[in-house]
Homo-oligomer: A and B are copies of this chain.
Amino acid sequence: MHWLRHYRRAALPGDLVAGVIVALMLIPQGMAYALVAGMPAVSGLYASLLPAVAYAVFGSSMVQSVGPMAITSLMVGTAIGALAPAASPLYVVLSQQLAFCVGVVLFVCGVARLGFLSNFFSRPVMSGFTSGAALVIAMGQCRPLLGVKGAFSVAAIHGPSAAMGLVSLAVLVLARYGLPTLLKSRSGRLAEILPKLAPIVVILGATAVVAMWGLERAGVQTVGHIPAGLPVLAFVASSEHWRALLLPSLIIGFMVFLSSQSAAQSLAQKRDERINTNRELLGLGAANLASAVSGGFAVTGSISRSAVNYSAGANTPLATLVTAALIAVVLCVPNGWLSLLPLPAMAAMIMVAVLGMVDFSTLSEAWRHDRSDAATLLATTAGVLLIGVEEGVILGVLLSFASLVWRSSHPHIAVVGRMPGTEHFRNVDRYAVETLPGVLMLRIDSALVFNNTDGVIDRIERELQSHPTVRHLVLVLSAVNMIDTTALLALSELNKAMRVQQRALHLCEIKGPVMDRLKHSTLLTRDLTGQVFLSTAQAYHYLSGLQTAS
């Protein structure tokens, strides 16, 4: 709570305004995401209250808005849906239990400083996962949008619901894509915030329509009874389900961390702050434990809400506390009207929110830069859509590591020569360079490790076979960031074979950390047939001198 002790009065107006605006955004969003998670709508408000306070106390980001989030809710729904019937008492218990497990996972990762594990999720994997999950959520909202109960068919579409859903959708799409253009001339912040408040206007309007025309009796589904009062602090667990929740809580814990982390990082970059990853894990852990004991479900930092919080002027977590206070007020004042919130309008709101998360820009960047990254991205999306949400992200992570291993197994090796008039050496195939007769200079573009040793040695042997007049082989190690034991032994054998062939093996540009290890090896201390040079230029100079001498 460092920020509270050093609170500057100048920060107050911004925090108050941002707190109110985020509350207006969060109240309908929280309830909608509760429905995505298969939970009663009110639990979305509970999940926005105490967890936000817990994060304000323990978290590291100043402007992060922690609460329900679309993808996390989808993952909760998928995980618990496999264990209990939707909206059953067991379902509610298991959702809280899952939030507890997620909190423990995050806490343990924070204490054990495992934040670095987030590095295992590449941006293409995260982008493909987000897009896939957004599509899954949007497809899941088609039924409530059109008032379909049971299996989907055109005949099952409920006219009044569909009308309300589609009109809401149209208004929200216009607000999202039309308003910013309209407001372009106005201040940047207003143009950024106003469209984000459209959902509450649409939801309130749709609720008023339901109330005026009694549409709930005409078959338009509403969120139904919202119990008044603050959440009761309690934690019930189903002892037989701990094991079944283990894997989901690990995966959801990671996703909670990754989305919160990317939100916090992008805002910290704007505010010129630094995020403490392990502190962030502790804050998120506390938020999820708070959610578990106050009737909520797994929560995380939301990128879109945090951006609104920042744009609306939030300076400290006080803004979050203001938001929480307003939600508490909504829960405590008579709120019968909340029960009339119509599901078709909520579905429209969810759809517009998640379709904005479908990410084409990373795909196009990956496609231009690296087809294999683009393929991993698309495979992750396809995995999420066709196999499952958790399975898709696991598939993506495995594919990105497989491609890493594949690439490190197939290193690039270039024959190099000297750029005329310089001490710079480049690939003979790309540049007009000078080479010395009887000398072969090979630049190996990879760490020399067990999974590429055979390939590299094989390539070197082939180069030697195809250049039978070569007496001096120079390995340029400027790009060799490591030589492991497997590679060292193979190099020693190569050196031995070259001695028999009366050829010399020279090494140059060995980096400091590589040399620190290599200098103790028998290859360098005793066996090497050639010499070790500091730079490629020195090797070139020495070998050209040898030739002039002979």
Contacts and interface: CB of A to CB of B under 8 A. Distances in A.
Interface of A: 116, 118-125, 269, 362, 365-366, 368-370, 373-374, 400-401, 404-405, 407-409, 411-412, 414, 419, 422-424, 426-427, 430, 445-447, 449-455, 478-482, 484-486, 488-489, 493, 497, 511-513, 517-518, 520-522, 534-535, 537
Contacts of A405: 401, 404
A401 B122 CA distance: 18
Given A122-B486, A489-B123, A521 B430 contact: no
Nearest to A490: B123
Contacts of A453: 119
Nearest to A478: B478
A415 to B, nearest CB: 12
A69 to B, nearest CB: 22
Contacts of A451: 119-120, 122, 404
A119 B484 contact: no
17 contacts: A119-B451, A119-B454, A121-B450, A122-B450, A123-B485, A365-B521, A369-B517, A369-B518, A369-B520, A370-B517, A404-B408, A424-B537, A445-B513, A446-B481, A479-B479, A479-B480, A479-B511
Nearest to A489: B123
The interface residues of chain A, by DSSP majority, are classed as: helix
Nearest to A400: B450
Contacts of A426: 512, 534
B119 A427 contact: no
A450 B481 contact: no
Contacts of A119: 409, 450-455
A311 B188 CA distance: 83
A274 to B, nearest CB: 8
Contact of A369 (B422, B447, B488): B488
B366 A485 contact: yes
A493 B450 contact: no
Given A450-B119, A479-B511, A370 B485 contact: yes
A481 B479 contact: yes
Contacts of A450: 119-123, 125, 400, 404
Contacts of A521: 365, 368-369
Of A125, A414, A480, A489, the most chain B CB neighbours within 10 A belong to A489
A119 to B, nearest CB: 5
Nearest to A429: B512
Given A362-B485, A401-B405, A422-B537, A414 B122 contact: no
Contact of A423 (B374, B414, B423, B484): B423
A373 B484 contact: yes
A535 B416 CA distance: 14
A493 B453 CA distance: 35
A512 B428 CA distance: 11
A484 B535 CA distance: 28
**Shortest 5 CB-CB distances between A and B: which pairs?**
A122-B450, A423-B423, A373-B485, A424-B535, A123-B486
Contacts of A486: 122-124, 373
Given A408-B404, A479-B511, A488-B369, A454 B118 contact: yes
Contacts of A446: 447, 481
A444 to B, nearest CB: 9
Contacts of A411: 481
B445 A481 contact: yes
A468 to B, nearest CB: 13
A419 B509 CA distance: 13
A423 B536 CA distance: 10
Contacts of A449: 122, 404
A316 to B, nearest CB: 23
Contact of A430 (B362, B400, B404, B512): B512
A237 B404 CA distance: 41
Of A401, A405, A407, A449, the most chain B CB neighbours within 10 A belong to A449
Contacts of A485: 122-124, 362, 365-366, 369-370, 373-374
Given A362-B489, A400-B450, 8 more contacts: A119-B450, A125-B450, A368-B521, A369-B521, A370-B517, A422-B423, A423-B423, A479-B479
Nearest to A451: B119
Nearest to A513: B412
